Amino acid sequence: MRVSAVIFVLFFVMSGLDQSKGHQSDIEPRLPMVEPPLETTTQISEVSVQSAGPAIVTLSLPTYIYSGETFHLKGEMIFEGPNIFIGSIEFLDTISPLHVDENGIFEATLGIPVGHKSGEYEIQILVYGLGQKLFRTELVEVRTKPRTEDYIHRTEHMKAITSDSSSLNRELEIRHEYNREYLPVRIGPGQFILPVFGPISTQFGERRVYEDGSYGNHHSGVDFAAKEGTSVISSSQGVVTYIGNLPIRGDSVVIDHGGGVLSGYHHLSETLVSLGQEIMQGQEIGEVGNTGFSTGPHLHWEILLFGVPIDPIQWTTDLFVRQ
């Protein structure tokens, strides 16, 4: 997975690739403008240049971040002469692309898995140019946020779905497929909007507890309680990358927003879009339902960043995402 991610970044930058997954788009892609959450602090590192090689002169990243949340890394490097640079970030055993512009400004958006253990972890920054290379390692503290428990009484239908591992394995296989490729850069507005009108019934990250006392995984999204048939809209502009039935999440629509960001809309009763369709923010894409592993009508909404589920509510506030 690491090798394929690096090869993708190298191929994309050096070949000038402007689209992936075969989607033709008239939308002009652009990178998101993202700031760290206000509850974190910004650490600026400065170095003096002793050689003609590239060097990082500023680096902005939070001193700590909670598991399940997203943060933004941004910096500037200096170098001699004209050059074209490409980069990558290695963090928590995942390699993500690092965007570097012609002026040496670089940035990346990263997410922390909700169940990740607290501690200090390395971020490795790697930048390649024509005959030049830059490597930098920093530490970021990951803190565990207290999570509540969500007690669920499963119906017989729900028990049948999870009676063996086949449903879960099939769902993981499908989710892996639609997370393999993505539009290379973000499109649409940076700040997301809520996809449905209704109260939140289950928060992101809550730990599932079933009637027999057994524990499930942390909740990978946010659940909205709403009547069946309630309109569901796209939280941001993008392209439909998956439409179909998932054994656990039921009838689903997944939208690719570029730059490794996907949003998922699950347990739908109706889907109103087609595969490859370009979607605008606020456009109706389906209706609330009760399909899959579900105790009643609701929408399960999630955001994936390079395949990692992260708190979607964070993306709806200007505490994190700014234009």
pLDDT of residue 186: 85
* 3-state class (DSSP) for residue 38: coil
Residues 32 and 321 sit within 8 Å (Cβ to Cβ)? yes
pLDDT score of 192 more than 80: yes
Q: Measuring CA to CA, which residue among 309, 293, 299, 310 is closest to residue 248?
A: 293
Query: Quick one: pLDDT band at residue 52, thresholds 50, 70, 90?
Result: low
pLDDT of residue 250: 96
Residues 55 and 137 in one domain: yes
Residues 139 and 204 in one domain: no
Instruction: For residue 126, tell me if it sits in a domain.
Output: yes
pLDDT of residue 45: 42
Instruction: For residue 5, tell me if it sits in a domain.
Output: no
- Computed over every residue of the chain, the mean pLDDT equals 83
Its domain, for residue 264, covers: 149-316
Q: List, for residues 14-40, the tens digit of each pLDDT value.
A: 433 333 333 333 333 333 333 334 334
Q: What is the mean pLDDT of residues 165-187?
A: 90
Residue type, 48: S
Residues 175 and 302 in one domain: yes
Residue 197 maps to which CATH number?
2.70.70.10
pLDDT of residue 53: 77
- Number of Cα atoms under 13 Å in the Cβ half of residue 124: 8
Query: Quick one: pLDDT band at residue 304, thresholds 50, 70, 90?
Result: very high
pLDDT score of 58 more than 80: yes
Instruction: For residue 17, tell me if it sits in a domain.
Output: no
pLDDT score of 307 more than 80: yes
Residue 139 maps to which CATH number?
2.60.40.770
> By CB neighbour count within 10 A (0-12 exposed, 13-18 middle, 19+ buried), where does 14 fall?
exposed
Q: List, for residues 236-250, the tens digit of each pLDDT value.
A: 999 999 999 999 999
Domain-ending residue, one of 125, 143, 161: 143
What does 150-185 look like in DSSP terms, one character per residue? EEE---HHHHHHTSSSHHHHHHHHHHHHHTS---SS
Q: What is the mean pLDDT of residues 153-165?
A: 88
Residues 215 and 285 in one domain: yes
Distance (Å, rounded) from C-alpha 136 to C-alpha 123?
Answer: 8
Domain count, the chain: 2
Instruction: For residue 38, tell me if it sits in a domain.
Output: yes
Higher per-residue pLDDT: 130 or 49: 130
Q: List, for residues 246-271, the tens digit of each pLDDT value.
A: 999 999 999 999 999 999 999 999 99
Instruction: For residue 182, tell me if it sits in a domain.
Output: yes
Q: What is the mean pLDDT of residues 279-286?
A: 97
Residues 223 and 297 in one domain: yes
